[in-house]
Amino acid sequence: MSASPTMTPAADVVVNNSSERVRGRESSAVLRMSEAEAAEIGVTDLVTSLDGFSADNERVLLNMGPSHPSTHGVLRLMLELSGETVMRSKPVIGYLHTGMEKTGEQLTYLQGGTNVTRMDYASPLFTELAFALATERLLELEIPERATWIRMLMCELNRMSSHLLFMATNGMDLGAVSMMIYGWREREEVLRFFEKVTGLRMNHNYIRPGGVAADLPSGWRDDVLRITELIDPRLDEYDTLLTGQPIWRDRLQGVGVLTADEALALGATGPLLRAAGYAWDLRRNEPYLAYDQLEFDVIVGTHGDCYDRYAIRLNEIRESMRIVSQILALMPSGDYRAQDKKVTPPPRARIDTSMEALIHHFKIFTEGFKVPAGEVYAAVESPRGELGVYLVSDGSSTPYRLHVRAPSFVNLQCLPHLMAGGLIADGVAVISSVDPIMGEVDR
């Protein structure tokens, strides 16, 4: 069912008149009761404290999480239940808060990549890319063509690994345990390639202002071809295992419906928005890097339910493989980073032979490079939607302000509307379909 987007003022739940409180509780999918109010009323006294409720339709407050395997991290949901039906809900966040945006204002622009890469730990290269693009716009720095295409290659492989992780956890959440094993198995192949290129499986600090940290290693083409040739037939196996399976369809079809108007009103992007039939993809609509030179389709759904969100991510893996195949054919030669001495450290080999190169290297990595004063916003299409970095520079080597427009954070506010009127078991399917990363939500 489609939840109503109608919102009520928070004051509706604190007025003294009981009928007004009931009206406020009933007119929205969002639970407006604060934690203090919930504690004051108590679970057993919740019904008797409000007019209009009888013993036949008793409602209780239930906390789901933050220590719960199906909330995809330390997410807490306050649920108002009537039996097993979720009447209203309220996401409670902050249990993983690390202050990364504030920390980023104490780090140089060169060090910033080590910070932002830890926000979305399922697709860290996208946060690195958005931060690098914002910094480069302030610097008015042109990066080599090869660096641009390497970034696209790594990000599309990262999109594949992120969606494969979704396939695994989505299957596990709904009882398809085999899918957890298969999705994890294929994701490992991509992470092994990342480790070969960047030295790390996750949190790479590979995409940096000016280009990338290192060129692709020898044999990288064969490695990428092996990954695509391995994953392609296994996606067909996923189709056989899940897509046409009656139980899988019954668990997902018609569950967690979000219309295009509701998605736009709530600021949802990525698969949530495209599942509602709205074809919005920054790679196509506001091209960055060299995506305007590639052929790929924007996958959209029809009903905006959990099944559409599953199908979109499955087919986006195929589209990413299509993009990767084009990158393999079009990858240019040349430098992998800009040769601007103010931004780029000297080649490693020169450090052992040149005192000037050693001093230059020391100053770049200790003091950083100064960025002209100004403000900028750069956005990329991450596996979860629009990921944007807003930077303000005061002319020093550290950002004056850093803010990240995290798609998981924005998409999470759709949960009350997606869950309203459904069963608590459907709530697990809904959370999984949103695919939130709590490190990105809490930052």
User: What confidence score (pLDDT) does residue 357 get?
Assistant: 85
* Same domain, residue pair 239 and 377: yes
**Cα–Cα distance measured from residue 88 to residue 415, given in angstroms and rounded to the nearest whole number:** 10
Q: What is the length of the chain?
A: 443
User: What confidence score (pLDDT) does residue 394 get?
Assistant: 94
Contact 120, 369 (CB under 8 A): no
User: What confidence score (pLDDT) does residue 288 get?
Assistant: 94
Average pLDDT score over residue span 92-103: 90
Q: Quick: pLDDT tens for 177-210.
A: 999 999 999 999 999 999 999 999 999 999 999 9
* Same domain, residue pair 154 and 184: yes
User: What confidence score (pLDDT) does residue 442 get?
Assistant: 87
Query: How much of the chain, in percent, has pLDDT values that exceed 90?
Result: 70
Contact 395, 139 (CB under 8 A): no
pTM of the predicted model as reported, rounded to 2 decimal places: 0.88
Q: Quick: pLDDT tens for 290-322.
A: 999 999 999 999 999 999 999 999 999 999 999
83 CB-near residues (< 8 Å, 6+ apart): none
* Same domain, residue pair 217 and 182: yes
Q: Three-state SS for 311?
A: helix
Q: Quick: pLDDT tens for 134-143.
A: 999 999 999 9
Higher pLDDT among residues 69 and 111, named by residue: 111
What are 393's two structure tokens? 């520079």
> With 80 as the cut, is the pLDDT of residue 132 above it?
yes
> With 60 as the cut, is the pLDDT of residue 53 above it?
no
User: What confidence score (pLDDT) does residue 147 get?
Assistant: 96
CATH code for the domain in which residue 303 is found: 1.10.645.10
Average pLDDT score over residue span 77-106: 91
* Same domain, residue pair 376 and 425: no
* Same domain, residue pair 65 and 131: no
* Same domain, residue pair 180 and 295: yes
**Cα–Cα distance measured from residue 438 to residue 435, given in angstroms and rounded to the nearest whole number:** 10
* Same domain, residue pair 330 and 351: yes
Higher pLDDT among residues 10 and 91, named by residue: 91
Q: Three-state SS for 385?
A: strand
Average pLDDT score over residue span 44-54: 42
* End-to-end Cα, the chain, rounded Å: 32
* Same domain, residue pair 365 and 443: no
Number of folded domains that form the chain: 2
> With 70 as the cut, is the pLDDT of residue 3 above it?
no
* Same domain, residue pair 134 and 239: yes
* Same domain, residue pair 124 and 226: yes
User: What confidence score (pLDDT) does residue 27 get?
Assistant: 55
* Same domain, residue pair 315 and 423: no
> With 80 as the cut, is the pLDDT of residue 47 above it?
no
Picking from 12-26, 246-260, 414-428, 429-443, which range would have the lowest pLDDT averaged per residue? 12-26
User: What confidence score (pLDDT) does residue 36 get?
Assistant: 74
Average pLDDT score over residue span 245-250: 92
- Measured from the Cβ of residue 229, the count of other Cβ atoms closer than 10 Å reads 10
User: What confidence score (pLDDT) does residue 326 get?
Assistant: 96
Average pLDDT score over residue span 349-374: 87
**Cα–Cα distance measured from residue 400 to residue 394, given in angstroms and rounded to the nearest whole number:** 6
* Same domain, residue pair 23 and 145: no
Contact 95, 442 (CB under 8 A): yes
Domain with 124, as residue range(s), is 100-405
Query: How much of the chain, in percent, has pLDDT values that exceed 70?
Result: 89
